[in-house]
Amino acid sequence: NKIQQYLRIVMTSLAAGIYGNFGQANYSAAKLGLANTLAIEGQKHNIHYNTITPTTGSCLTETVMPPVLESRIHFPLVLWLSHEQCQENGGLLEVGAGWIGKLRWERSQGHIVRHKNQGMSPEAVRHQWDNICDFTNATKPANISGNKLTQPITPTPFFASARYVIDNCH
């Protein structure tokens, strides 16, 4: 908690919370957005939030799922994520049958689809679609500060003259 300057919270999610599933839009929309926001808000107080998506059996699936998928097999991961020495925050981990994998976001390099001093057009988007979707040399943004749209953009001459007019009008 804030007074102790240490807390670890491990949330669980269904695979639908990551990948989506028919009829579960509300669940999918809420789960990871909440987890990411809590990780950001808690970080300054050493409060870490991580999410695991276990593949596990239950009493409903015990006749079709092998014992290696019992939920207790995930405890070592939960214990590590809960440990004071664990610095993982905002992590999303899939776990099942003794396997653990971490998921992350990736972004293509993208492509500028407008000509100088002009707007975008659907035709320009279509023409550059392969470049927009090319994940060669992809980046891995971890938070909003990694968003290319929040980075400074070199002003065009039009922008510079418009900025001058705005700044000098009283």
pLDDT of 123-140, one tens digit each? Answer: 999 999 999 999 999 998
Confidence band for 87, pLDDT divided at 50, 70 and 90: very high
- Is a pLDDT exceeding 60 seen at residue 152? no
From residue 132, give the alpha-carbon distance in Å to each of 104, 110, 142, 144: 19, 4, 20, 20
Quick one: pLDDT at residue 170? 47
Q: What is the DSSP code string of 84-126?
A: TT----S-EEEEETTEEEEE---B------B-TTS-B-HHHHH
Domains and CATH numbers, the chain: 7-103 (3.40.50.720), 122-168 (no CATH)
Residues acting as catalytic residues: 27
DSSP state of 9: E
